[in-house]
Structure 1
Amino acid sequence: MVASRLPFPLTLTGDGLVLREWRSEDLDDLVRMLDEPEIARWRPMPSPFDVEAGIAYLKRCHQGRITGQRIQLAITTDGGRPLGEVLLFGVDLGLKEAELAYLVDVRERRRGLASGALSLLSAYARSSLHLGRLLLRIDSRNTASTAVARHCGYRLTGEPPILQETPYGPSRLDTWELVERQTGSRRDRQKNVAARRYGRRT
């Protein structure tokens, strides 16, 4: 059973990455990273992203961490300068499921940072938090993010898209789920996937 509060503080290491808590001294790097239309297009946040927005962002992050509501870690290679962010939130203890999200500085892409961070946090969620169903919500036009999802073993669920309005126009969020490697026949694997996907609905 997942604890009622997510662990804080937390550092995860592996594959040449160090995922660590955000710090107040990260403000300048955070503002530089998030003051970018390409990121704002896919994440609901102020644009332009200034120092005031950065201070508010770090405050919300710290509050969410100390109350155990989410895991929100800076992506680094050595514990130093943040190059992106990975999150786990929306934890449902009864269903043992949660949602994840990630972003990487546009100047640091094509280095495997997003896939490495997502894999690390997904593995931690499964092994240490005992979450059985891990989800991503990705705009269908965000091809870079969908490529990361596929690389890390996430697959489209076939659930109806989540439609919403953004400053950049309508957005269609598809649901992706981390799929375990299955043994046995293809029919058995399909039955297992269907049970995980639809068994909780009435």
Structure 2
Amino acid sequence: MANRSVQLRGDGLLLREWVDADLAEMVPLFDDPEVAYRTPVVTPFGRHAAEDYLARARQATADGTRLHLAVTVGGGPIGGEVILNRITAMIAYTVAPAYRRQGLATRAVRLLTRYAYEVAGLPAVFLQIEADNVGSVAVARATGFRLLEESPEMVEDKGRRYALHRWAHVNGVRRQASS
């Protein structure tokens, strides 16, 4: 499977591995102030950072540790990225400003969650979200993730210290009311 390119289709999306031709689209996606604030990507994010990021993403895929997929609407322009960390079972995602509030992250997370269970064989997947990240909290809830009752992970990045709360989705378990 190492030489096979991953492509996931569904709900109007095509999730596919990054290619060299995507470098120009990666710059505005990852150089967005909200993305820079919420993620550990290099800031500012220019062409050289995009080349480095693509090289690291390809290496992680080759190593089998992470899968980085460009999110496209039906194979068109790139609207974001979704990542599956196979070691921690963590999903992460980024959406470009022009594609926010259109359900792109929700649809991409659903597709990648299904892949995590059906192809990667993971028994559960997780998200890490800051409590004030209203958009990501909405994505977590819409995709059936539940906030875990545990202490958040404290992270320091770019001179900012913040708490990441863990959300879980267990294979076969949809969002449901507690009994």
Matches within 5 A, 1:36-185: 36-91=32-87, 98-167=89-158, 169-179=160-170, 180-181=173-174
1:7–1:68 Cα contact (<8 Å) kept: no
Instruction: Describe the shift of the 1:136–1:144 C-alpha distance in structure 2 as closer, same or farther (beyond 3 A).
Output: same
Query: Structure 2-normalised TM-score?
Result: 0.91
Q: Give per-residue Cα distances to partners, 1:92-125, cap 9 Å, x unaligned.
A: 6xxxxx1111110012111111000000010111
* RMSD of Structure 2 on Structure 1 (CA): 2.0
Amino acid at match of 1:54: A
2: distance between equivalents of 1:62 and 1:143? 31
Point out where structure 1 has 5 or more consecutive residues left out of the alignment. 93-97, 187-202
Tell me how far 1:73 sits from its aligned partner: 0.4
The residue aligned with 2:27 is 31
Q: Cα deviations across residues 102-154 of structure 1 (Å, max 9, x unaligned)?
A: 11001211111100000001011112222111111111121111110111000
Amino acid across the alignment from 1:81: P
The alpha-carbon deviation at position 81 of structure 1 amounts to: 2.0
Gaps of 5+ in 2: none
Larger radius of gyration between Structure 1 and Structure 2: 1
Contact kept, 8 Å, 1:36 with 1:47, in 2: the verdict is: no
SS of the equivalent of 1:165 reads: strand
Question: How many corresponding residue pairs?
Answer: 176
Quick one: which amino acid aligns to residue 115 of structure 1?
T
Q: 1:6 to 1:150 in 2, by over 3 A?
A: farther
Q: Tell me, what secondary structure is at the counterpart of 1:134?
A: strand
**CA contact under 8 A between 1:6 and 1:71: conserved in structure 2?**
no
Task: Spell out, residue by residue over 1:74-102, the C-alpha distance to the aligned partner (whole angstroms, 9 max, x if none).
Answer: 0001223211000110426xxxxx11111
Q: Quote the Cα distance in structure 2 between the aligned partners of 1:6 and 1:126.
A: 18
SS of the residue corresponding to residue 74 of structure 2 reads: coil
Q: CA 1:78 to 1:159, structure 2 compared with 1: closer, same or farther past 3 Å?
A: same
